[in-house]
Chain A
Amino acid sequence: MKILVGIKRVIDYNVRVQVNREGTGVVKDGVKMSINPFDEIALEEALRMKERGAATEVVVVSIGPEAAQQQLRTALAMGADRALLLTSDEEIQPLTAARALLAVVKEEDPGLVLLGKQAIDDDANQVGQMLAALWDRPQATFVSALEFDDGSAKATREVDAGLETIEVDLPAVITVDLRLNEPRFVKMPDIMKAKRKPLDIRPFAELGVELPPQLETGRYEPPPRRQGGVKVDSVEALVAALKDKGLLS
Chain B
Amino acid sequence: MSTVLLIADHDGKNLNTGIARSVACARQLGTVHVAVFHAPDEDAACAAAAKLDGVSRVLSISDPANEGPLAAVLAPQVAALAREHEGGYDYVLAPSTTFGKDLLPRVAALLGVPQVSDLMEIIDARTFKRPIYAGNVITTVKVPEGIPVLATVRIASFSAVDAGGDAPIVSASTSAELPTHTRYIGLSAAGGGDRPDLQSATRVVAGGRGVGSKENFEIIYRLADKLGAAVGASRAAVDAGYVPNDMQVGQTGKIIAPDLYIAVGISGAIQHMTGIKDVGCIVAINKDGDAPIFEAADFGLVGDLFQLLPALEKALDGS
Contacts and interface: CB of A to CB of B under 8 A. Distances in A.
Nearest to B296: A226
Contacts of A94: 105, 114-115
A243 B312 CA distance: 13
Contacts of A204: none
Contacts of A133: 75, 105-107, 109-110
A129 B109 contact: yes
Contact of B185 (A120, A161, A166, A214): A166
Given A163-B187, A213-B147, A216-B142, A228 B296 contact: yes
A213 B144 contact: yes
B140 A238 contact: no
A165 interface: yes
A163 B188 contact: yes
Contact of A123 (B103, B133, B300): B133
B142 A228 contact: no
Interface residues of B, number: 87
Interface stretch (B39-47, B93-101, B160-168, B213-221): B93-101
- Identify whether the interface residues of A are mostly helix, strand, loop, or mixed: mixed
B143 A139 contact: no
Interface in B220-261: 245-246, 251-252, 254, 259-260
Interface in A58-116: 93-95, 98
A207 interface: no
Contact of A215 (B116, B132, B297, B302): B116
A16 B136 contact: yes
Nearest to A162: B189
Interface residues of A, number: 80
Contacts of B251: 123
Contacts of A120: 133-134
A235 B182 CA distance: 53
Contacts of A223: 131, 135-138, 277
Nearest to A140: B182
A121 B132 contact: yes
B260 to A, nearest CB: 5
B99 A160 contact: yes
Interface of B: 11, 16, 68, 70-72, 75, 97-99, 101-110, 112-118, 127, 131-144, 146-147, 179, 181-191, 199, 203, 245-246, 251-252, 254, 259-260, 270, 277, 280-283, 289, 294-302, 308, 311-312, 315-316, 319
Given A129-B104, A162-B189, A213-B147, 12 more contacts: A95-B109, A95-B114, A129-B103, A133-B110, A137-B181, A141-B102, A159-B187, A160-B98, A219-B139, A228-B297, A233-B301, A242-B299
**A-B CB proximity, top 10 nearest:** A129-B105, A162-B189, A229-B298, A133-B109, A218-B140, A130-B109, A126-B105, A165-B185, A138-B182, A159-B98
20 contacts: A19-B137, A94-B115, A95-B114, A124-B115, A125-B105, A126-B108, A126-B117, A129-B102, A129-B106, A133-B75, A159-B99, A162-B187, A162-B246, A165-B188, A215-B142, A219-B139, A229-B300, A231-B294, A239-B312, A242-B283
Interface of A: 11, 16-17, 19, 26, 93-95, 98, 120-134, 136-139, 141-142, 144, 154, 157-169, 172, 177-179, 212-223, 226, 228-236, 238-239, 241-243, 245, 247-249
